[in-house]
Structure formats: C-alpha cells, structure tokens
Structure 1
Amino acid sequence: MIQTLFIDQHQDLHDLEKLKDLKRRFMDTSEMAHYMVDLFLSAVHVRKNGNLPTSEDFNPSLNPDNVRISLKFIKVEFKSMRIDGMKLDSSPRPQSTLNQSAAAQSSFSRGSKKLLDEIFVGIDRDVEHIRDKLVEDQKKLDVVSIVGMGGLGKTTLATKVFNDAYVKHHFHVRVWVTVSQTYDKRGVLTQILESIRGQLHLEKANDSRLRELVHKNLMGKRYLIVIDDIWHIQTWDNLKVFFPHDNTGSRILLTSRQTEVAMHANSDGLIHHLGYLNKEKGWELLCQKVFQGRDCPEWSIKVGMQIVENCQGLPLALVVIAGVLAKHAWGKKFWKEIAERTSSYIVGGQNGCLETLGLSYSHLPEHLRECFLYLGGFTEDYMFQVERLIWLWVAEGFIQKDGNISLEDIAEGYLMDLIDRNLVIVADRSKSNGGVKACKVHDLIRELCLEKAKEEGFILETEKLILSPQFSNGITPTYKLVRVFINEESINPYFPYPTTQNLRTILCFLNIKYSGNAIVNGSFVLLRVLDLQNRRRIQFSEDMKLLVHLRHLAIRIKSEGFPSSICNLWNLQTLIYITAYRRSVVLPGNISDLVNLRHLLGHKNNVFVFPLTEKPMNLQTISSLELGNGVGDCLKCFPYIKKLRCHTYLETEYDFKSLNYLVKLKLIGNFETSVDRITFPTSLKTLTLERCGLPWSEMSIIQSLPNLQVLKLHSWAFNGSCWNTDGQEFPQLIKVLEYNAIEGSCWDTDGQKFQQLKFLRLEGLDLKTWKAYSASFPCLKQLEIIGCHILEEIPFEIGDIPTLELIQIRGCRKCVDESARRIEEEQHDFGNYNLKIHII
C-alpha cells in the first residue's frame, strides 16, 4: 500500500480523486499514531518528574483503537480499489523503499551542476535605457523607478543594472536595500552600512548614530542606492532623509508595484513601466530554463508556445512552469497535460498567477512538499542561511534517512531540487567553492506557500496572530501537528492547554513577551523546534526539561551558567545557546547525555568549556571551544566533528590528526604564548590560524595536507619575519592570507605554483613589496586586497593570468589603485575585456 500510494510514479493513478483521498487519510492516520506515541512518552517523562506542577495537570487520554480502526478501513478500501479493471494490490511491484525513492528523486549534485538562476531574457533594452539615465551628466540627486506587478522581473532588471560593468565603474559606492511591505528603519540603515563597509557590529548603536554613519559614508561620494520592493509613500518620505544631496551625480533606483510611490518620489524622473514578455521572448526564456542550451525537440515548439501563451508573458510564471517541465524535458504527453491545465488560468492578476504557480506545487514529490511549505512561515524577503534552514528541516522530521548519507547532505539535496525547480532563489554563494550560502523566495512564491500551508493545516496564521482559548475551535483535529511562526509585533501569545498540546514548532522572529506558564500547563510537551533567540534574555525555566521531544533549541539566556537540566533533552540535535557577552560558558558534567546533539553554537563572543569525559559525543559542529589542559582527551570526545573553532591558551602541541571527519578548523591562540606544534588530519579542507606564533618550518605540515582548499592566516599566525615557500605547492588552495598573518615587508612567490588557486585575498597585511608571477597562479579568478596600508603596488604580471576575472581593492593606498588601473589598461590594449577592476 505504501509502495503504491507514495513511491510509484504513475501519474494516471495519482490524478484519481479517490486515490488522493485514500492517501490523505493514510497520512492523517500516520500522524495520529505519531501524536499518540509522542504523547505517551511525554506522559511517562512527566510522571517520572512528579515534583513539578505539570504532573498534576498533564493527564492525556490515549486511545490507540482509533488508529487501528482507521488503518483497517483504509486497508479494506485499498484492496477493493480497481483501476482499469485491475486491483491495485494485485500487480507486482519492484522491491524498493520509501527512503531509496526519496533519495533518488532528490538526486543532488552539490556543486557539480551549474545552476541557471541568472538567465536574463528580453530586458537588454530596458537595462540600457535605465543605465543611460543613471549615468547621464546631471549633478543633482535623481530618482529612477521601475514599476510593475509581482513576477514581472523588477528585481531581476534592477540586479542586471546594478551589476553592469559601466555602472560599477561610474559610481564610487553601490548599495542594495530591500524594504518590502513591513518597513524597518533600523534594518535599512544597517543594510546600507554593511553594503559600504562590510560586516559591522552595530547592536549597541542607536538609530540616530546609524543615520549619522550612513550620511557620513555617503557624503562627497557618487553613490547608487537601489531600494527594492518599496510599497508605501510614507516609507519613501522616511527614507529620503538618509541620502545627502551634494551634487555629485548620485542616483536612487526604486522598484515598486505602486505607480503612486514612484510618482511621489520623483514625478519628473524616469518611471520605467515593466511590461510582459512577448511570445518569442517567452519561448526563449522557457527553452533556456528547460533545455539549458541544448536544442529543443521539434514536437515541443507548438505545445511549448501554447504554454507560453497561457502564462501571458509573466516571467515568474514561465520560470516556475519551466522548473516543472525540466523534470520531464522529453515527455511529450506531460507537456500536453501542462498546456491543457495552464489554459484554464488567467494570469492577469495575482490570484490567477498563484493558480498557475500552484502547478509547480502539485508536481512536487511528497518528500519536498513539507520543506517547501515551511518556507512560507518566515517573514517576507527573509534571507535563509542554508546551514540553519537545513538544521530546521532535519529537526522537523522532513528529511528521510537513506543509507549512510547524512541527513544534512540529503537535506542539501532537497534544497538543490527546489532551486532547480525555480521555487527558491540563490541569494549568496561561497566565494571559495561556489556553494549556496543563502537563499530566498519570491513574494508570490511565499504567498503560494502560505496558501497551501493553510489549506493543509500545516502552519497557523503568521500575521496578526493572537492565540486564545478560542483559536483552535474547528480548525484542526486534536492530533494535527501545529506550527506557529510569530512575525508580528505587539502580540503576547497565549498557548492554552489542552488545545495546543499538539504544538510542534514555535519560531519567533521578534522580541515578544514570553510566558513560562505555557510549559507548566502542558501546552508545549510535543515541541520539536523552539527558537526564541530573538527574545532578549529569557529566564530559563526548569520545566523546559520536560520537552523531551525537542530537537532544535535556540535561546538567548540571562541566567548565570549553563542549566544542567538542558542535558535531559536527549533528542536535541541543534542547540543555539546565546548568553550575555560572557567569554566562557562552562558546560556541566552530564553534557554527554545529549547523545543526539550534532550542532552546538553560541554568541560570537562565547567560548564553550567542555568537562573531561571519556564518553564520546556525536557533535559535528562546535562554534567555539576552549582547549586547555588535557587537550588530547578533550578532542577524543568529538570523533565525528566536521567544523570546529577553538581557542588555545597554553604552549603545547595540538594534535587534531585523529579527527578523521574534520573539514573546517579555525585555531586561535593568544599573543602571550605560542604553539609548539600542530598536526592536522588529511580530511581538512579549510584552515584558519590566528595568533598561534608557529615557526615557519611548520608550514610544511600545512603544505602536505592533500585536501586543503582554504587557508587563512590571521595576525601572528606564524612567528618570524621571513617565509620562504620556494618549492612548496598547495595543490587545491582556494583562499589564502588574511588579517596581518605574515610578518615582514616583502613577499616573493618565485618558485611557488598554486596549481588550483581560484580566489586570493590579502587582508590587513604588513606587506610593502609583493613580487608575483602569472605562472604562480595559473587558475586564479579573483584577487582581493583589503586594508594593506603600506603595500606599494600590485605586481604587473598578475594581469597576465589568463583566468583572472576580477581585482577588488578596498582601503589601500592610492598607488595600489593606480597599479590596478594600469593592469586594466594594458589588458584592454591586448583585447582582454574580461578582467574587471573594482575599487572601493
């Protein structure tokens, strides 16, 4: 029955309403069974801790007969079902499992496939028109607007203009700000400052100080500010005071769905109304997304043009439908079905567009649906950090186990599948390996997520949510799992018992008032995810130790010391424990009881101090670990660690060789002591050293690491004024040298050959003379030089590297900027226009 309902991919069968109804009932029954088992375990745990008030109030009634009866009826109905005269359970099925099918469907390629998420069709003339207006010879501040409905590609067009080579060259400062419907002044100011100056620590700065910094950093410069997705006139009136009018030829580019906002911002300026794609451009976009440069089959043209016509020129609809078709690129019958179904939709308005986009949801495999719906609960324009999103998916139970592949790797495959289907947008990539670091969803896709999630009772209302004893009347069965995403301010959620004892998730994005009595009355007993890290300094309640189903806990605590009762939460997979700017967090002796804990993170200023224990843990990630006496014994506690940041305080040897899964390590010493010797595992791909004071002879150890791709040397990583690397090779090095890592005023790379080096950054170095040769960096694509205040010039030979695409310079002397310009001019004389120079 499971094979037929959930694994076999027979579209004709799954289109039958009676089969869909049977499938839905089966899932509901399964959910009811999960609910009862988990409730039973909670009841046992509460009674075991009988001294707590909850033990008197919490007394669930459990009746497994309901599950048995429901399964019996489903089984009988399934056996009696006939399709084309054949019983469903009579045909032989291939031997497979749900896990294997899900894994096969996801078939992730983790970087081996280049994602086509930046295909621009039919907007070249629009780009030229807007660019010419932005760079025209007019000194006063001017506002240019792009206006159109959701899904027409306003942000895509603005992105193309923003990244145009001439625009980059023309403006001293370029800033991108996303506003959306809910305007957050502090958030906008922070976005501007971080675009100009990089990551800053602005938590303590008030709004007046932020505004002052913005004005100071823009004054006297020719700047371009893109304000994406602005909805209200009042928002513009609030924003415009941030930007200085100093006749430097600066520009502001707005994107909005509201023409009145553009008219109010500048009635005399250019307002570019974005139109729909014509059939030819629509077909070109569909082909590029589906066939990815390959020739399309002859049969696809007629039916494809019908699909294009049905999408009525809306790029977002075309892109999402292309994501559906790409999975069946050569299926003529499937294309015809899609063409017939899209013909019933009118895409002229948002509702019609949502129906068209809904086709992409109906063709999602089961294992991706919950992951997709989950995205709708987050705030508009939310930037998902991929690593955190994956941890949440795993904690929610969305990821199905497949052999020896880790749940995190399978989840990454799910995400790549959603990206391939054009339902998720890549927002940021790693410079070192091109992997996806952050992603987001289009506003209309988020609306689709919310609509489907509410239809299926997957999440509660996220806007203007007030939980009261009446909220659950008639909404969901008592066993239906409930997820709450709190996005609105000025609410004080009340979670009544027993109506919300099926609550599985609370994700809070705002600093709400948190009431601890919710746990006492039993409302939270089935929680799997509790994320209150945006709630400032909550007081940890001892009743939290009853939440034995918790898999993901994120809290910002104000109590002194790490509560030992957290170690009772044996299901925890991810713990994000943030405390008030204290240096060390001493963990209790029973921390190893968290047998399922895989990721332990704290505030950037927190360092975890582990007790000495012989019991190994399953930790894969530790944000910051203190290594003191008994270093070797401590490291043996983490045999499966993959990512580790640790601090050293002693003059001793540090041996990481036994950590066979370790791929990323940051080791921070101090200026008072130096490390005698460090040994590393061959699995290491990323290494950061800071203040270790190693002798340069130890570099040979790093050189010998066969899988090293990223090397960062921060201040006083090595001790000595001379680094002679003649004859050393780093075969897979991608990133090297940051933050004054090397002492001495001269770096000569003669004899070195970084065979696969793609990205090189020199940051904060005491480097005066740099001698380099094109043969030293045969594969270099990007060079960044940041804050090298005494560097005299960039070696002229760098320009001869055939693969070099970008040189970026920030905070260096004028002579460095001039040397970069000379390199650019010479390469242009040779006909090489691929090399770009970006000076901040």
Structure 2
Amino acid sequence: MRKVGEKIAESTNLDTVTSAKECLDVIELSYKHLPDYLKPCLLYFASFQEDEKISFTNLAWLWTIEGFIPNTVVAESLLNDLIGRSLIMVSKKRSIGGVRTCHIHDVLHDFCVTKAKEEKFMQLASNGKTDFSSSFYENRRLCIDRSLYWAERIGNLQVRQFIPEIKRSDPSEVLRNQRLYGINAIMDIEPFKPRVSLTNKQADYMIKMANRLRKLKCQCKEPLKLRLDALQLETLSVNDVLLPQSVMSNIGRLPNLVVLKLEHRAFQQEKWDIEDEEFLTLKVLKLRSLKITTWNASDESLPNLEQLLVENCFHLQEIPSVVGEILTLKMIEVKRCGESLENSVRQIQEEQEGYGNEVLKVLIYPLDSST
C-alpha cells in the first residue's frame, strides 16, 4: 500500500500528467486506496472555497462534530496522512510545529465536489444554482455558500453546524432566523468559533447566545463594553477595542484562556498592570502595535506562560523582569521594538543563562530588520 501511495503522490504532481482524464484517473485511484476513515475527511474539503486557506483548528472541530473522528486530538495525524499522500497541501506552519492552515488543489477540490454529490455525502448550494428536486433532500449534508437565501427555501432544515460570515450580516438577524432549527443548540457547542468584527450591540447579543464560545476575535467600531469574564474562552484576539484596566483584569481571570492576542489600540491607558493570580492558564501572549509605555506583572501572574511575542511596540520600555522567572517559559520573540525593550529582554536572557536555564529561547529582530 505504501508503494501505491508513493506512486499516487508522484502522479498528482500536475506537471507530469499529460491529460485531464489521466489526472482524474490518478485522483480516483488515490481516493479508492484511501482507508474508509479518511474518505469523509477528504470529501469534506468540498465545503470550502477553492484556494481557501483552511484553519487546522477549525477543520479539526468540524471533523469532530460531523463524527468523522472521536475527538480533535487525532485530527492532526489524519491531516498529516492526507498531506503525505499529496492530497492536501500545507499553507502555513505553526511557530511551534504542526500545520496552522492548509489548502486543496483546485483540481482535487473539483473532484471532491463531484464525488461528494455522487455519494450523496454533501449538497453544495449557491444562489440560483440548485435544483430543489427530491434528490436534493437525500443528501446527508448541505453546504450553503455565504448567503441565508436558502434558509427561506429549504423548510425545516435541522442544522448541526452553522458558521455564517457575520462580517456580511447582522448577527442578530442570523440568530433570529427561525428556519434554522437548532441554531441555539449550535451556539452552545464548542465548535462554533466565529471570527467577527462587532459593535457592542452585536457582540452583546452574540455572547448572550454563545456562552460556551471557545474562540473570539474582536475588532470593535467603538470601545468594548462587555462582560467577557462570563465566557469559557480559550483563545481571544482583540484589536482596536480600547480596553480599560478593569476589563483587562476580568479577562485575566478567564479560567480557560490559553492564547491572548492584543493588537493596535487594545488599551485605553498607556500602562498595563497584571495583578496576582491573573492569566493563570495563559500559554501564549502576543502584543502587537500597542501604544502602552509601561507593563508591570506580579510574581504570581502568568505562571504557565510558554511563549511571549512582542511586535512593533515602539513605546513599550521593557518586559517585566519577573517574566524571565516563569518556569514554563520557552520563548521570547521581539520584532521591531525600541532599543530599551530589546535591552530588557537581553538582560532577562543573561540572568536566565546565569541560572543555568538552557530552555529559554530569545529571538530579537531590530527595527531595521526585514523579518
């Protein structure tokens, strides 16, 4: 089987395929030799757009909720299997290893769309291009392309997974659509992780309806005035939200927060104080293009931090020295910041080396660096 897989991988290099028929034959052969548990994972790529960069995290959740895999832990090995067979390509890797985003070749995407329809695995719908014959309702899944137009045409659709493009719609209108039976239940499960730009009114409504939201990216048109501490967030990205110190303290008490990204006008003040027992579960902290000048942290904050990334924070004078004492810290990366901040990081590095710390990796890219 391995030899067959290697032969297929070589053949799917489109430069060596002399005809469209030969190309499809090779892909068909590749699909035929896939283990049964991998076939639905591959066909599910039909639900994405051609050339779309697909988040591995989102893909893992979708595979799980569809029942293809028992949990997200096994998703990476299955995706790597598809990559090893040259059926899926890596778009971007994570800094700590693994796949961040992936994509599928347009020819393979066309194959998945056709095969999904043939096997009644999935029906793809786009405005004005779908035949609502009896065969339409025989499909196990319906992929709606960007529009809620279909919600008014397909009657009592029972939705297992619904991720609208909220940037193009009013979230309250999406959630009030009574045709989407079960949408409230969907809002209460972990895989619903929209990336949205929100006003306070929209965000308030979303958070009330999605109190088990795991991942949230906010870019507000006005200062953020939300009770985010009521959520069970694991990943939070905030951009242009003008957070007061009180809200930052509430965020610091989120019990499951692992990744926090603060960008541009994330703060109202020029000073950030992290108090005792804040950000107890945080592992990754990214600060980018912030206006703050001072950052203080207590000895009992950030006890599980593994990565600190600081980029384009020209006004920030230094990294708190206590950060270097965090036992779990593996990396500090500084890009295009001021000399004072760079010196504070070098001092942390020297102190840790003096203590025999060989784990901490420090990367500094000066202002004149093109990296």
TM above 0.5: yes
Aligned to 2:74: 413
What pairs with 1:611-690 in structure 2 (closer than 5 Å)? 611=173, 613=176, 618=182, 638-640=187-189, 642-650=192-200, 654=204, 656=207, 659-670=210-221, 673-681=222-230, 683-690=232-239
Alpha carbons 2:324, 2:348 under 8 Å: kept:
no
Aligned to 2:20: none
Q: If you compute each CA radius of gyration, which structure gives the higher value, 1 or 2?
A: 1
SS of the residue 1:645 aligns to: coil
Partners of 2:319 and 2:115 lie apart in 1 by 59
SS of the residue 2:332 aligns to: strand
Q: Alpha carbons of 1:791 and 1:751: their partners in 2 closer, same or farther (altered >3 Å)?
A: same
Q: Alpha carbons of 1:394 and 1:751: their partners in 2 closer, same or farther (altered >3 Å)?
A: closer
Q: Alpha carbons of 1:770 and 1:640: their partners in 2 closer, same or farther (altered >3 Å)?
A: same
Q: 2:284 aligns with which of 730, 735, 744?
A: 735
Partners of 1:636 and 1:677 lie apart in 2 by 23
Query: Is it true that 1:541 corresponds to 2:104 in the alignment?
Result: no
Q: 1:754 aligns with which of 302, 306, 324?
A: 302
Q: 1:606 aligns with which of 150, 160, 168?
A: 168
Partners of 1:394 and 1:728 lie apart in 2 by 34
Q: Quick one: which amino acid aligns to residue 238 of structure 2?
A: L
Alpha carbons 1:693, 1:717 under 8 Å: kept:
yes
Partners of 2:257 and 2:249 lie apart in 1 by 13
Alpha carbons 1:663, 1:685 under 8 Å: kept:
yes
**TM-score normalised to the size of structure 1?**
0.32
Alpha carbons 2:276, 2:298 under 8 Å: kept:
no
Partners of 1:181 and 1:798 lie apart in 2 by 51
Alpha carbons 1:763, 1:786 under 8 Å: kept:
yes
Q: Alpha carbons of 1:728 and 1:439: their partners in 2 closer, same or farther (altered >3 Å)?
A: same
**TM-score normalised to the size of structure 2?**
0.65
Q: Alpha carbons of 1:438 and 1:697: their partners in 2 closer, same or farther (altered >3 Å)?
A: closer
Q: Quick one: which amino acid aligns to residue 240 of structure 2?
A: R
Once the two structures are TM-superposed, the CA of residue 770 in structure 1 deviates from its matched residue by: 0.8
Partners of 1:409 and 1:435 lie apart in 2 by 20
Once the two structures are TM-superposed, the CA of residue 686 in structure 1 deviates from its matched residue by: 0.7
Partners of 1:790 and 1:636 lie apart in 2 by 51
Alpha carbons 2:198, 2:219 under 8 Å: kept:
yes
Q: Alpha carbons of 1:527 and 1:755: their partners in 2 closer, same or farther (altered >3 Å)?
A: closer
Alpha carbons 1:505, 1:529 under 8 Å: kept:
yes
Q: Alpha carbons of 1:653 and 1:384: their partners in 2 closer, same or farther (altered >3 Å)?
A: closer
Q: Quick one: which amino acid aligns to residue 540 of structure 1?
A: N
Partners of 1:708 and 1:776 lie apart in 2 by 21
CA deviations over 1:493-533 (Å, ceiling 9, x no partner): xxxxxxxxxx6536xxxxxxxxxxxxxxxxx89572438xx
Aligned to 2:100: 437
Alpha carbons 1:652, 1:677 under 8 Å: kept:
no
Once the two structures are TM-superposed, the CA of residue 797 in structure 1 deviates from its matched residue by: 2.9
Once the two structures are TM-superposed, the CA of residue 782 in structure 1 deviates from its matched residue by: 2.4
**Cα root mean square deviation, aligned:** 5.1
Once the two structures are TM-superposed, the CA of residue 717 in structure 1 deviates from its matched residue by: 2.2
SS of the residue 2:250 aligns to: helix
Q: Quick one: which amino acid aligns to residue 416 of structure 1?
A: S
CA deviations over 1:199-254 (Å, ceiling 9, x no partner): xxxxxxxxxxxxxxxxxxxxxxxxxxxxxxxx89xxxxxxxxxxxxxxxxxxxxxx
Once the two structures are TM-superposed, the CA of residue 614 in structure 1 deviates from its matched residue by: 8.7
Q: Alpha carbons of 1:784 and 1:529: their partners in 2 closer, same or farther (altered >3 Å)?
A: farther
Q: 2:116 aligns with which of 471, 496, 505?
A: 505
Alpha carbons 2:280, 2:302 under 8 Å: kept:
yes
SS of the residue 1:437 aligns to: strand
Alpha carbons 1:651, 1:675 under 8 Å: kept:
no
Partners of 2:360 and 2:326 lie apart in 1 by 9
SS of the residue 2:287 aligns to: coil
CA deviations over 1:58-77 (Å, ceiling 9, x no partner): xxxxxxxxxxxxxxxxxxxx
What pairs with 1:282-681 in structure 2 (closer than 5 Å)? 367-368=36-37, 370-371=39-40, 386=56, 401=67, 409-410=70-71, 413=74, 416=77, 419=80, 423=84, 427=90, 429-431=93-95, 436-438=99-101, 485=111, 505=116, 528-530=122-124, 540-541=127-128, 543-546=130-133, 547-548=136-137, 549=139, 551-553=141-143, 555=145, 562=147, 564-569=149-154, 594-602=157-165, 606-611=168-173, 613=176, 618=182, 638-640=187-189, 642-650=192-200, 654=204, 656=207, 659-670=210-221, 673-681=222-230
What pairs with 1:240-279 in structure 2 (closer than 5 Å)? none
Query: Is it true that 1:722 corresponds to 2:274 in the alignment?
Result: no
Partners of 1:735 and 1:649 lie apart in 2 by 26
CA deviations over 1:95-146 (Å, ceiling 9, x no partner): xxxxxxxxxxxxxxxxxxxxxxxxxxxxxxxxxxxxxxxxxxxxxxxxxxxx
Work out the percentage of aligned pairs sharing the same amino acid.
19
Tell me which moved more, 744-753 or 649-658: 649-658
Alpha carbons 1:617, 1:637 under 8 Å: kept:
no
Q: Quick one: which amino acid aligns to residue 161 of structure 2?
A: R
Partners of 1:392 and 1:651 lie apart in 2 by 28
Q: Alpha carbons of 1:711 and 1:793: their partners in 2 closer, same or farther (altered >3 Å)?
A: same
CA deviations over 1:301-337 (Å, ceiling 9, x no partner): xxxxxxxxxxxxxxxxxxxxxxxxxxxxxxxxxxxxx
CA deviations over 1:355-377 (Å, ceiling 9, x no partner): xxx9xx98x8x642534875999
Q: Alpha carbons of 1:408 and 1:715: their partners in 2 closer, same or farther (altered >3 Å)?
A: farther
Q: Alpha carbons of 1:385 and 1:660: their partners in 2 closer, same or farther (altered >3 Å)?
A: closer
Q: Alpha carbons of 1:382 and 1:687: their partners in 2 closer, same or farther (altered >3 Å)?
A: closer
Partners of 2:273 and 2:54 lie apart in 1 by 43
Q: Quick one: which amino acid aligns to residue 745 of structure 1?
A: T
Alpha carbons 2:270, 2:294 under 8 Å: kept:
no
Query: Is it true that 1:807 corresponds to 2:359 in the alignment?
Result: no
Q: Alpha carbons of 1:551 and 1:372: their partners in 2 closer, same or farther (altered >3 Å)?
A: closer
Q: Quick one: which amino acid aligns to residue 807 of structure 1?
A: L
Once the two structures are TM-superposed, the CA of residue 751 in structure 1 deviates from its matched residue by: 3.7
Q: Quick one: which amino acid aligns to residue 505 of structure 1?
A: A
Relative contact order, higher structure (CA 8 A, sep 6+): 2
Aligned to 1:218: none
Q: Quick one: which amino acid aligns to residue 437 of structure 1?
A: R
Query: Is it true that 1:769 corresponds to 2:313 in the alignment?
Result: no
Q: Quick one: which amino acid aligns to residue 553 of structure 1?
A: C
Partners of 1:652 and 1:393 lie apart in 2 by 29
Gaps (5+ residues) in structure 2?
Answer: 8-12, 18-25
Q: Alpha carbons of 1:662 and 1:724: their partners in 2 closer, same or farther (altered >3 Å)?
A: same
Aligned to 2:23: none
Once the two structures are TM-superposed, the CA of residue 394 in structure 1 deviates from its matched residue by: 7.9
Partners of 1:770 and 1:678 lie apart in 2 by 30
Alpha carbons 1:647, 1:669 under 8 Å: kept:
yes
Aligned to 2:22: none
Q: Alpha carbons of 1:375 and 1:770: their partners in 2 closer, same or farther (altered >3 Å)?
A: same
Partners of 1:374 and 1:652 lie apart in 2 by 34
Once the two structures are TM-superposed, the CA of residue 798 in structure 1 deviates from its matched residue by: 2.7
Q: Alpha carbons of 1:607 and 1:765: their partners in 2 closer, same or farther (altered >3 Å)?
A: farther
SS of the residue 1:736 aligns to: strand
SS of the residue 2:273 aligns to: coil
CA deviations over 1:372-391 (Å, ceiling 9, x no partner): 8759999xx99875457668
Q: Alpha carbons of 1:676 and 1:552: their partners in 2 closer, same or farther (altered >3 Å)?
A: same
Partners of 2:201 and 2:83 lie apart in 1 by 53
Once the two structures are TM-superposed, the CA of residue 677 in structure 1 deviates from its matched residue by: 3.9
What pairs with 1:26-105 in structure 2 (closer than 5 Å)? none
Q: Alpha carbons of 1:666 and 1:782: their partners in 2 closer, same or farther (altered >3 Å)?
A: same
Partners of 2:83 and 2:223 lie apart in 1 by 51
Partners of 2:83 and 2:202 lie apart in 1 by 52
Once the two structures are TM-superposed, the CA of residue 685 in structure 1 deviates from its matched residue by: 0.8
